[in-house]
Amino acid sequence: MISPDTTHPPHSLRLRSGNQMMAEGALQAGCTFFAGYPITPATGIFKTMIDLLPARGGVALSAPDEISAVAYCIGASMRGAKAMTATSGPGWALMTESVQYALMTETPLVVALVQRLGPSTGGATQGGQGDVLLAEYCTSGGYTIPILCPTNARECYELTILAFTWAELFRVPVIVLSDKETGMTIESVDVGSLPSITSQNRPSNFAFRELGGFRQNERKGTYYFDAIHEIPVFAPVGGPRKVTATGSAHDKQGRLQKNSPETLEVLLHLEQKVRWRLDDFAVVTADLQPAAGTLIISYGITARAARDAVSEARRMGERVSHLIVHSLFPIPVKKITQAAHNVDEVIVAEENMNGLYRSVIDRHLAGKRVRGVNKIGAMITPQEILEAIMS
Amino acid sequence: MELLTTTNGMEVVYQKPPTLTDTPLRYCPGCGHGVVHKLLMEVVDEMKIQDQTIGVAPVGCSVFAYDYMNIDMQEAAHGRASAVATGIKRILPDKYVFSYQGDGDLAAIGTAETIHTVNRGENILIVFINNAIYGMTGGQMAPTTLLGMVTSTTPFGREQQVMGYPLKITDLVAQLPGAYYVTRQAVHTVQAVRKAKKAIRNAFVYQTRRQGTCFIEIVSNCPSGWKMTPVEANDWLEKNMLPFYPLGDLKVPAS
Ligand SMILES: Cc1ncc(C[n+]2csc(CCOP(=O)(O)OP(=O)(O)O)c2C)c(N)n1
Ligand code: SF4
């Protein structure tokens, strides 16, 4: 998915921010509905959508708050529109109720979460990578929510398209976790070499109908699946068939039930449909060196400092590998353990206080010395990572 | 610091209220926020209630209000100011408690808090700065943005078919039985400033009666968000804002 910047001659360089590229990626993915509420550093996505989407026949709506913004998106998605919203930490806190609702109702949704320094109002114009676990563990029950994490403006475009594909195919909310520096830095992007793919669409019972299976599915209900990991065929609201959706615990027909065996099966299914496809969700950039003693793991803006640190360390004769994780969740366990296979030591660099991502990948790195390079209030520098490598 | 009455034998005709700190205001030139801060602190000084007054200002351009007003000031999360003020007032019913909120804060994300605070008749003062735009985040449409008004999220002007009508939340609030005193003022001319100060003073006095919520809308400006000079902004306010948001009392105490 992540195509290197150098595959095409840079014949069409344009200045773009990560936020703009995320909006353009969403349009490329076929997003037709956007709702937002102003918040630094995510406002650029909202603004670009307001400027571009209505002209293409889509809907871009200003909401009175983030609670409404995400709920508008869910309503639109229930009809089949590819829908997206964008926010930062304080707004994300308000959205989590409805993100859980999207998960429970299996409604595709893409949320761009452009991190700033927290907690609370925190620092509106100060970056950070402190929302990693707040984003992932926003559901009661800790259901896996896919999270994609770009490191530059170009990846903002590419990963947003991928986020729509995942949201659509697996009927889940997907988060594109950016940060203030990635979102607001304006850099050159070779727009001529951007992938021309779009996102895939959810299998819907519009198609079902044409295949003659419509009546049969009707009996089985909105959330019907046979195998636990199977994705129920999407039934849009406002169609010829009665559709119900509920954020309450429900059976396969969408009927509210407390803890019937079928309801528990539906809850298990919400997690298993993601877990069963773990390998499909793994997106990393691996720059591995044979016989490396140290592996650097990084993501988001910090990956750019890590890349510089790694090349400098190599210039100084160190053998060091680097893994940039783009799909933070579900954790790409295989990719991580493969990259760490022969090293003695793993260093996880991230711009937060306690090593949030390190705390959840630690358990997959048994037998390795695992350390963090952590910092808040400023970007981690290549020098700081280099010092960790050399020490 | 005390208010001066004479100095070197000369009469003092004007001075900065001592409770307004010496911190330079970070507001854009011509912005109404600074004027309203001054009026609030003038009233606090005249009533000698500096140590009995607690303010709650949420995020918005007035996020640094605690730096300018030398009283206990809390910064609340976006939209939650009147709710935090409610908690403070319920625990400290003898203090003067006010919230200071922008239109985005009070009439968008905090609408539920606004309506319910007033409907319960909380004995606080709500100061509502209506500049028809989100100032702090860079000039996006607010619920109070006028039809046709250009903002960064209404690049072709606010269209009623897409974004509905400007919200006259002060008129709504005046309908609620818990509202005790509701008025709409401005600070774009000397005369308006004087009237606004009187309204603020009334509201502080009324708070001691414990008869319900006092609510003061200040129709204000945002030269930066409106992309105008301060003078142009005040002219524009007079010609465009005031016809839609007419000044005057909407609800006054019976006696
Ligand atoms: C939950 C949440 N959403 C969004 C923001 C970003 N934000 C900060 S201030 C503000 C609105 C400012 O507008 P207004 O209340 O009208 O006050 P003004 O700046 O115009 O004085 C917004 C949207 C935030 N801090 N928290
Ligand atoms: S942006 Fe507008 S409201 Fe904020 S300080 Fe400047 S003029 Fe005042």
Residue-wise pLDDT for B196-229, tens only, equals 999 999 999 999 999 999 999 999 999 999 999 9
B233 lines ligand 1 (CB under 6 A): no
Any CB–CB contact under 8 A between A38 and chain B? yes
Please state the pTM of the whole predicted model.
0.95
Which strands sit side by side in the sheet containing A33-36, from one edge to the other?
A59-62, A33-36, A83-87, A109-115, A173-179, A147-148, A327-329
CA of B131 to the centre of ligand 1 (A): 13
CA–CA min distance B71, chain A (Å): 22
pLDDT for the residue numbered A7: 52
Question: B106 C-alpha vs ligand 1 centroid, how far in Å?
Answer: 10
pLDDT exceeds cutoff 90 at A161: yes
Residue type at B89 in one-letter notation: K
Task: State whether the beta carbon of B224 lies less than 6 angstroms from ligand 2.
Answer: yes
Question: Is residue B15 assigned to a domain?
Answer: no
Condensed to tens digits (0 to 9), the pLDDT of residues A353-391 reads 999 999 999 999 999 999 999 999 999 999 999 999 999
Query: Whole-angstrom Cα distance, residue B115 to residue B148?
Result: 27
Q: In A, which residues are within 8 Å of B78 by CB distance?
A: 90, 121
* Superfamily of A13-193 according to CATH: Thiamin diphosphate (ThDP)-binding fold, Pyr/PP domains (3.40.50.970)
Q: Could you tell me if A43 lies within 8 Å of chain B, comparing CB atoms?
A: yes
Nearest CA to ligand 2 atom 5: B27
**In the structure, what pLDDT confidence band is assigned to residue A218 with cuts at 50, 70 and 90?**
low
Instruction: Name residue A373's beta-bridge partners.
Output: A349
Tell whether the model's pLDDT for residue A4 goes beyond 60. Answer: no
> Could you list the residue range(s) of the whole structural domain that residue B180 is in?
28-244
Q: What is the best residue among B61, B187, B241 to mutate for testing ligand 2's pocket, by most ligand atoms within 8 Å of CB?
A: B61
**Are residues A302 and A127 in contact, defined by beta-carbon separation less than 8 angstroms?**
no
Looking from the CA of residue B226, the nearest atom of ligand 2 is 2
Interchain CB distance below 8 Å, A46 and B153:
yes
Identity (one letter) of the amino acid at B75? Answer: E
Euclidean distance between CA atoms A53 and A372, whole angstroms = 41
- Cα B41 to the center of its chain, rounded Å: 13
Containing H/E element for A31? Answer: none
Task: Give the DSSP per-residue string, B218-248.
Answer: EE---HHHHT--HHHHHHHIIIIIHHHS--E
Distances (CA, A) of B87 to B54, B117, B176: 12, 11, 20
Strands A109-115 and A83-87: parallel
B77 located within any domain: yes
Rounded to an integer, the average pLDDT of A179-207 is 88
Q: Is B222 in the pocket of ligand 2 (CB under 6 A)?
A: yes
CB < 8 Å to B137, chain A: 38-40, 43
Give me the residue from A39, A62, A121 closest to B153, CB to CB.
A62
- Among A37, A39, A114, the mutation site with the greatest number of ligand 1 atoms within 8 A of its Cβ is A39
Spell A323-334 as b/e; 16+ CB within 10 A means b. bbbbbbbbbbee
Is B80 within a domain? Answer: yes
pLDDT band per the 50, 70, 90 thresholds, residue A224:
confident
Considering CB atoms only, which of B63, B77, B153 is closest to A50?
Answer: B153
Within-domain flag for B184: yes
Beta carbon of B58 within 6 Å of any ligand 2 atom: no
Q: Tell me the pLDDT tens digit for each residue of A247-302.
A: 999 998 888 999 999 999 999 999 999 999 999 999 999 999 999 999 999 999 99
Residue A92 Cα, gap to closest chain B Cα (Å): 13
Domain boundaries, chain A: 13-193, 205-278, 284-390
Q: Which of A27, A102, A106, A115 is nearest to A71 (CA)?
A: A102
Closest partner residue to A38 (CB to CB) among B77, B140, B155 is B140
CATH topology identical between A13-193 and A284-390: yes
Distance CA(B4)–CA(B97), nearest Å, equals 26
Is residue B220 one of the residues assigned to a domain? yes
> Which ligand is located closest to the Cα atom of residue A65?
1
Cβ of B135 below 6 Å from ligand 1: yes
Provide the sign of the torsion angle of the four alpha carbons B54, B56, B61, B63, taken in this order. positive
- Measured CA to CA in angstroms, residue B58 lies from A52, A168, B102 at distances of 32, 38, 8
Residue B110 in tokens? 């905090």
Cα(B38) to centroid(ligand 2), Å: 16
- Rounded mean pLDDT, A328-357: 98
* A284-390 has CATH 3.40.640.10 classification: no
What's the gap in Å between the CA of B125 and the closest CA on chain A?
23
User: What pLDDT, on a 0 to 100 scale, did the predictor assign at position A244?
Assistant: 82
| Candidate from A37, A51, A121 with C-beta closest to B155 | A51
Cβ of B131 closer than 6 Å to ligand 2, yes or no, is yes
B82 pocket-lining for ligand 2 (C-beta < 6 Å): no
CATH of residue B116's domain is 3.40.50.970
Nearest CA in chain B to A45: B153
Confidence tier at A156 by pLDDT (50, 70, 90): very high
A87 and B CB contact within 8 Å? no
Instruction: Quote the CA–CA distance of A160 and A148 in Å, as a whole number.
Output: 8
Instruction: Name the stretches of chain B with pLDDT < 70.
Output: 1-2
Residue B140: its chain A contacts at CB < 8 A? 38, 43, 46-47, 62
Cβ neighbours of B152 in A, within 8 Å: 47, 50
Q: Find residues 198-217 of chain B whose CB sits inside 8 Å of chain A.
A: none
Question: How many CA within 13 A on the CB side of residue A362?
Answer: 11
Rounded alpha-carbon distances, angstroms, from residue A146 to A65, A127, A163, A167: 24, 22, 8, 9
Sign of CA dihedral B62, B64, B65, B68: negative
Closest by CA to A378, choosing from A125, A166, A10, A151, is: A125
pLDDT for residue A214: 47
Question: Is the per-residue pLDDT at A117 higher than 80?
Answer: yes
Whether B23 is in a domain gets the answer no
The total number of structural domains in chain B stands at: 1
Task: Please report whether residue B5 resides in a domain.
Answer: no
Nearest CA in chain A to B76: A121
Query: What was the pLDDT predicted at A211?
Result: 39
- The predicted pLDDT at position A10 comes to 58
Determine whether the interchain pair B163/A62 forms a contact, defined as Cβ–Cβ distance below 8 Å. Answer: yes
Q: Is B28 in the pocket of ligand 2 (CB under 6 A)?
A: yes
Could you tell me which residue, A232 or B115, shows the higher pLDDT?
A: B115
Give the DSSP per-residue string, B55-83. Answer: EEEESSGGGGHHHHB-SEEEEEPTT-HHH
Residue written as token pair 């002007």 = B157
